[in-house]
Amino acid sequence: MIISMSPQATKEQIEHVCEKIRSFGYIAHPIYGEERVVIGAVGDGREKDRVISVMESVPGVESVIPILQPFKLVGRELKKEDTIIKMDGFTIGADQFVVMAGPCSVETREQLLETAQRVKAAGAKILRGGAFKPRTSPYDFQGLEEEGLKLLAEAREKTGLKIITEIISPENIDLVSEYTDIFQVGARNMQNFALLKRLGKVTKPVMLKRGMMSTLKECLMSAEYIVSQGNANVILCERGIRTFETYTRNTLDISAVPALKQLSHLPVIVDPSHGTGKRSLITPVAKAAVAVGSDGLMVEVHPNPEEAFSDGQQSLLPEEFEEMMREVKKYLVVEGKRL
Amino acid sequence: MIISMSPQATKEQIEHVCEKIRSFGYIAHPIYGEERVVIGAVGDGREKDRVISVMESVPGVESVIPILQPFKLVGRELKKEDTIIKMDGFTIGADQFVVMAGPCSVETREQLLETAQRVKAAGAKILRGGAFKPRTSPYDFQGLEEEGLKLLAEAREKTGLKIITEIISPENIDLVSEYTDIFQVGARNMQNFALLKRLGKVTKPVMLKRGMMSTLKECLMSAEYIVSQGNANVILCERGIRTFETYTRNTLDISAVPALKQLSHLPVIVDPSHGTGKRSLITPVAKAAVAVGSDGLMVEVHPNPEEAFSDGQQSLLPEEFEEMMREVKKYLVVEGKRL
Amino acid sequence: MIISMSPQATKEQIEHVCEKIRSFGYIAHPIYGEERVVIGAVGDGREKDRVISVMESVPGVESVIPILQPFKLVGRELKKEDTIIKMDGFTIGADQFVVMAGPCSVETREQLLETAQRVKAAGAKILRGGAFKPRTSPYDFQGLEEEGLKLLAEAREKTGLKIITEIISPENIDLVSEYTDIFQVGARNMQNFALLKRLGKVTKPVMLKRGMMSTLKECLMSAEYIVSQGNANVILCERGIRTFETYTRNTLDISAVPALKQLSHLPVIVDPSHGTGKRSLITPVAKAAVAVGSDGLMVEVHPNPEEAFSDGQQSLLPEEFEEMMREVKKYLVVEGKRL
Amino acid sequence: MIISMSPQATKEQIEHVCEKIRSFGYIAHPIYGEERVVIGAVGDGREKDRVISVMESVPGVESVIPILQPFKLVGRELKKEDTIIKMDGFTIGADQFVVMAGPCSVETREQLLETAQRVKAAGAKILRGGAFKPRTSPYDFQGLEEEGLKLLAEAREKTGLKIITEIISPENIDLVSEYTDIFQVGARNMQNFALLKRLGKVTKPVMLKRGMMSTLKECLMSAEYIVSQGNANVILCERGIRTFETYTRNTLDISAVPALKQLSHLPVIVDPSHGTGKRSLITPVAKAAVAVGSDGLMVEVHPNPEEAFSDGQQSLLPEEFEEMMREVKKYLVVEGKRL
């Protein structure tokens, strides 16, 4: 790390900082500039993150600048090759483009089965559907819970699709694990560290959605929580961030996809439904996801959005989804990828 | 709610929307403008939030504008008088200004007891200290857990201060409840709804920190989660939001205090430590909190910030805290409030 | 517009609001709900924008919600067909995808001519280059001014490329107009209304970059300034907005392209150089721009980014630009567009 | 500056960077870490800002971290004592707290004179009023222009108040200069560098409002534009920034006041009218401004907000302004400041 001293720092303060650096097992390299001193701290010392925090509190220090990325296991520096998650019959993260589709919430047997058959026929490999719903209002529909999980399992059986569903509390991990193929961590729980740690102990893949307030580095640090506990099968998902713009529900950060893939070896997918919040923007953004190298999509599809219990305005009709898939396929051909 | 039809909406679509409105038990009031039709939906119909979501999906609808505040129990509309939380020997929310102070993390017995005695002497009523720490990195110090809770209880016994500590998972509620006087929900968990629901069942007060990317209305909806489960003793805390500005750690939204107090009857306090992230800005912002009508402060104090395990750069030294309290008291005199 | 009264509003206040509405030439439609009254104001009254502002100040009014889009001339409601700008030999806005490329700043004759020849050969139609540079610091290079304009004109003569260059003050319009083919308004000047009004009087096209702090509606209102003064040839440009994310220089709002094209008939192009600030992200985002229906690109190209006077880290080398163009062309084939 | 090389950087790349540093007149200090090399560039070399930009483009460089503040004349490093602007009969920036009040727009003679007399009586020293209005919509009231300036001058004559009015284009500087005592640069023009440069040549003070999406450093760089051209009398104004929160018009960044005063010697004032956009929040925030050390306030006052041509909902009535001033004075007593 680099420690920049204030222009008013005294000789004693500079020496104190150097000693402090050494006390943590690093070597101190002071550089004397015209107006101030900056000190490089080099080495394989202990507790890098804590040292940065400590150094910021030492008298005379103006700022501390970390040089190394704080994530290790999910970064490209130690593992160069892409992580490829093997599912039964397909992969996430190689030259395959995986589409996860389905309703926002599992509502009824008919709704789910109809949707599952339609998205399967159009090329989706994974059925999405929320059984535990994190809703802003306590008065909104909170999900069918285990009943919803059972319907997802039935849809899997009927269609051969794999299923992904959201987990909102560590208490439900065992229950959800009985049914799901992939755990989904929603944007609001991206920094629910108790949940992440527990998901690091399961063997099924986890899809981690970027928080609407989270930087790319924070997203990678949350993935690091899961991987550092032993579960290497993490999929990242860009689903839009919160900005001042209100025309769209969120602002989908399209650059995040190639940026995450440069920083990390994990697969990255895009959710254009939440990323835009508007049905008419989903297909263009889905195509853009292919263009920037995404490994797949998560899209909300509902046979009757008017009757949806949640998020109807950002759900495609099955026939709109089929149209989206036709468009996406043209771009996959260009990219040499397959569904 | 008001439903604004698109200028291209057909007569059939308009009639369909009106029927839909009626099917939910509302009365439809179409208004025919020059360029478009807007429809008022009035009444005491069912499932207000879901209806809004459904209506946004109906063909021909351009937007749906809710008119009522989505929060009920925490709003001023149904309960005009301020909520006053009675602690043993003092109150939160009346003409008393409550200061919560202490280290970011509970680290050692000496650190905690020394800090407790110093902040008590300076006028604090509540000792803060984290035993379970939500940290961005899995490699950062995660807290002493139960050992930390025991030290907090010991400090309470020695000083008579009440204690507040953070709860990061529903699984720990029983454990933390054995020790703490007030539960703290951190900014990252403001929308951890599983946690909020469980805290609605406890009898101790809950201080809910505004999420760093949460609107005031979302913050109030999260409070509504707790209150609607039966726990009316909720304290709101403004602790800064995330913006593009990087000079400060967060941007403390000072207007949020009077705004929340206008919208809600719940007490509101300010955390200038997280709100600024810089020691030199804490005292000015603490004074500003009094100026805007805050019911108290939460401030980080550490006897030796250089040795802090977390957040040293935003902790006051005990003597700086004493100085802050002297400044704050002058303003409390003007406001006719007491510590 | 819809006026929502506060739940405490008196009968007199409601009546006063209705009178006020009528005094501006609108018809008032009060709707009596369970908890409050909302009033629709319908008609072709005067001064819509001022009326909204006035109504927000009337006692008893809680909020005023406009129903009509504030932009008229640039919106799709009055003009459904796309605006197509005819340049000499090509068009902006139809089935043609126009690439504007060149250095951030015009620096030297050699730099500019070499770049112009390379980008022309690779398929660009327009040469970009700044002669007046808006720089955050007064100590940064401010541009070659008229000397730079002359070099652009020379490059045009040598290559047949059209030129686009930035205008930063109304005082320079006559001078810049002698040389340029298209005026560029930079993000920092998107709401420099004095400049916009003057550009509404020129006959050459104007490319208006979205401000880094501007909503889509504000961007369209700024375009409306130009068009309402008589210049209908406006091109919009998405170049990234400012968010909390710091990994990229800005956050390119990819959904803005289809959203702007739905709201407006004006052509929309994308600037992936400013939108990302990182050379390695330019090509993926350029492809995404095709995917979402952009009418073109503006890209920074520099033969020797190390020697650039500004923005070297977001400039492509000519050979990287050629590679980007090859990728872009594959997508244009899919879309049935041509360069 | 500190140059952090990528972990993959070759020996040749590192040597090339060191040579490059030397070619600009700096001394290179490479520090060899475990995983990468960082290089300190020290000295009084040329063109600091350009060098940073160049270095970011050199192969093998991952990032460049400036160590010095980019502003010089407005910073505390070279001038420690506060800038005090001497007006006729009072000062801006010492132990005096200056209140600027008046209508958003100059509308009529009666409106302006009545407001002037009322705010003068309540303790204001400066009358504000817009004659040239930067409005989002071309269809909104754009100001009375010279007629408005004349009314301001008349109000000055009648009351002895000084006047401040907004300048929106370099073309109007001579005209506005005939009338005003202080030039105001609005938030939307904070980076209108052509305007700033011209205001650096006038002798009257300039109040520079922070842009709604500008960092503190950018705001100081814009002040540097004015001061570096010869006009040292610059006042900074915090007026709220744009964030995701929509309940308030902007988010007033209260920490910005003490932060700016630590970084710079220039006086800083607060605009709670634009900062909140809501009448009921103005007085609390005005008091908070005193609490954080602001040198004054700018507040909108209108005798009949319902009739205001702009911004009525954020204007105080004269009697509300008087009440605000009574509250503010109590805090000024505590701070030992006078009106």
Q: What's the confidence (pLDDT) of residue D46?
A: 64
Q: What's the confidence (pLDDT) of residue D63?
A: 83
In terms of pLDDT, which residue wins out, A210 or A60?
A210
Residues 162-191 of D with CB under 8 A from C: 168-172, 188-189, 191
Q: What's the confidence (pLDDT) of residue B217?
A: 95
**Beta carbons of C191 and D134 less than 8 angstroms apart:** yes
Say if the ipTM goes beyond 0.85.
Answer: yes
Q: How far is CA D310 from the centre of its chain?
A: 22
State whether residue C253 sits within 8 Å of chain A by CB: yes
Two tokens at C106? 């015009």
Query: Cα separation of D64 and D4, whole Å?
Result: 6
Q: What percent of chain A has pLDDT over 70?
A: 99
CA distance B244 to chain C (A): 4
In this prediction, residues A168-186 reach a mean pLDDT of: 97
What is the C-alpha end-to-end distance of chain B, expressed in Å? 44
Contact list in C for residue A280 (CB cut-off 8 A) is 258, 262
**Beta carbons of B227 and B197 less than 8 angstroms apart:** no
What is the C-alpha end-to-end distance of chain A, expressed in Å? 44
CA distance B95 to chain A (A): 31
- List of domains in chain D: 2-65 (3.30.70.1140), 85-335 (3.20.20.70)
CA angle B298, B302, B308 (to 5 degrees): 115
Task: List, in order, residues 6 or more apart from A50 with CB less than 8 Å away.
Answer: B140, B141, B309, B310
Query: Cα separation of D241 and D219, whole Å?
Result: 12
**Beta carbons of D140 and C50 less than 8 angstroms apart:** yes
Contact D305 C57 (CB under 8 A): yes
Q: Residue C254: helix, strand or coil by DSSP?
A: coil
Question: How many other CB atoms sit within 10 Å of the CB of residue C49?
Answer: 17
Query: Cα separation of C34 and B326, whole Å?
Result: 50
CA distance C67 to chain B (A): 7
User: How is residue C170 annotated by DSSP?
Assistant: G
Taking alpha carbons only, the member of A141, A63, C132, C34 closest to residue B50 is: A141
State whether residue B65 sits within 8 Å of chain D by CB: no
Query: Cα separation of B196 and B208, whole Å?
Result: 9
Query: Cα separation of B42 and B268, whole Å?
Result: 33
Question: Residue ranges of chain B with pLDDT lower than 70?
Answer: 45-46
**Model confidence at A45, in pLDDT bands (50, 70, 90)?**
low
> Between β-strands B27-32 and B37-42, what pairing exists: parallel, antiparallel or unpaired?
antiparallel
In terms of pLDDT, which residue wins out, A69 or A106?
A106
Taking alpha carbons only, the member of C308, C273, C279, C306 closest to residue C106 is: C308
Contact A293 C285 (CB under 8 A): no
Each residue's pLDDT tens digit, C28-52: 888 887 778 888 888 776 677 778 8
Mean pLDDT of chain C: 93
Query: Cα separation of B107 and B307, whole Å?
Result: 10
Each residue's pLDDT tens digit, C16-28: 999 988 888 888 8
Phi, psi of D22 (to 5 degrees): -65, -35
Q: Which amino acid is at D177?
A: S
Two tokens at A322? 């089929």
Contact D192 C193 (CB under 8 A): no
State whether residue A220 sits within 8 Å of chain C by CB: no
Across chain C, which distance is largest between two alpha carbons, in Å? 76
- Residue from the list D170, D225, D305 with its beta carbon closest to the beta carbon of C169: D170
Taking alpha carbons only, the member of B123, B127, B122, B119 closest to residue B97 is: B123
Contact B224 A192 (CB under 8 A): no
Query: Cα separation of B288 and A122, whole Å?
Result: 58
Q: What's the confidence (pLDDT) of residue C73?
A: 94
In terms of pLDDT, which residue wins out, A263 or A66?
A263
State whether residue D81 sits within 8 Å of chain A by CB: no
**Model confidence at A234, in pLDDT bands (50, 70, 90)?**
very high
- Which chains border D (3 or more CB–CB pairs < 8 Å)? A, B, C
Q: What's the confidence (pLDDT) of residue B46?
A: 64
CA angle D233, B255, C190 (to 5 degrees): 55
Each residue's pLDDT tens digit, B203-227: 999 999 999 999 999 999 999 999 9
Taking alpha carbons only, the member of B213, B291, B306, B301 closest to residue B258 is: B291
Q: Which amino acid is at A171?
A: E
**Beta carbons of A130 and A323 less than 8 angstroms apart:** no
> Between β-strands C37-42 and C27-32, what pairing exists: parallel, antiparallel or unpaired?
antiparallel
Question: Residue ranges of chain D with pLDDT lower than 50?
Answer: none
Q: Answer yes or no: is pLDDT of A312 > 80.
A: no
- Residue from the list D254, D281, D288 with its beta carbon closest to the beta carbon of B259: D281
- Residue from the list A33, A68, A242 with its beta carbon closest to the beta carbon of D42: A33
**Beta carbons of C281 and C274 less than 8 angstroms apart:** no
Q: Count of H helices and E strands in chain A?
A: 11, 14
Each residue's pLDDT tens digit, B106-129: 999 999 999 999 999 999 999 999
Question: Residue ranges of chain C with pLDDT lower than 50?
Answer: none
CA distance C328 to chain A (A): 10
Contact A2 D246 (CB under 8 A): no
Q: What percent of chain C has pLDDT over 90?
A: 74
Q: Concatenated DSSP letters for A141-199?
A: ----THHHHHHHHHHHHHH--EEEEE---GGGHHHHHHH-SEEEE-GGGTT-HHHHHHH
Count the alpha carbons within 13 Å of D253 in the hemisphere toward its beta carbon: 33
Each residue's pLDDT tens digit, B25-73: 888 888 887 778 888 888 776 677 778 878 888 888 888 887 777 788 9
Query: Cα separation of D52 and D108, whole Å?
Result: 52
Q: Answer yes or no: is pLDDT of A154 > 70.
A: yes
Taking only Cα atoms into account, the Rg of chain D, rounded to an integer number of angstroms, comes to 23
Two tokens at D232? 């040292």
State whether residue D31 sits within 8 Å of chain A by CB: yes
Q: What's the confidence (pLDDT) of residue D51?
A: 80
Each residue's pLDDT tens digit, C236-288: 999 999 999 999 999 999 999 999 999 999 999 999 999 999 999 999 999 99
**Beta carbons of B277 and B249 less than 8 angstroms apart:** yes
Count the alpha carbons within 13 Å of C315 in the hemisphere toward its beta carbon: 29
Count the alpha carbons within 13 Å of B131 in the hemisphere toward its beta carbon: 26
Taking alpha carbons only, the member of D242, D260, D262, D259 closest to residue D251 is: D242
Query: Cα separation of C279 and C295, whole Å?
Result: 22
State whether residue D255 sits within 8 Å of chain B by CB: yes
Q: Which amino acid is at D229?
A: Q
The model carries a pTM of 0.92
In sequence order, what are the beta bridge partners of B229? Answer: none
